[in-house]
Amino acid sequence: MRAVVTCECCGNRQAVARQIQRAEIFFVVCHSCESVLRVEVTDEELRAAQATPRTRPATRV
Ligand SMILES: [Zn+2]
C-alpha cells in the first residue's frame, strides 16, 4: 500500500515514496517544515488498503 502522511506541524500532506508490505513503524521528514513524522502502519490498515484499492497499477501489453 501507499501511505499519505499529514504533518502535525504544518498540515502538509505527502505521499510516502516506499511501498508498505507489512505492519511497521517508520519516520518521514516533512517536505515543508522538515519536522520528523512518525508513521505507524497497522495490520488493520494494511488489510483495509488491500481490500479497497483506490488506484490500480496500469498494465500494458
Ligand atoms: Zn510539516
CA of 27 to the centre of ligand 1 (A): 13
Q: What's the CA-to-centroid distance between 29 and ligand 1, angstroms?
A: 8
Judged against a pLDDT cut of 70, whether residue 18 lies above it is answered with yes
Q: Which region among 14-18, 34-38, 49-53, 54-58 has the lowest average model confidence (pLDDT)?
A: 54-58
pLDDT for the residue 53:
62
For residue 28, the model assigns a pLDDT of 92
Distance 50 CA to ligand 1 centre (A): 28
34: alpha, beta or left? (left if phi > 0; alpha if psi -120 to 50):
left
Give the whole-angstrom CA distance, residue 45 versus residue 34: 26
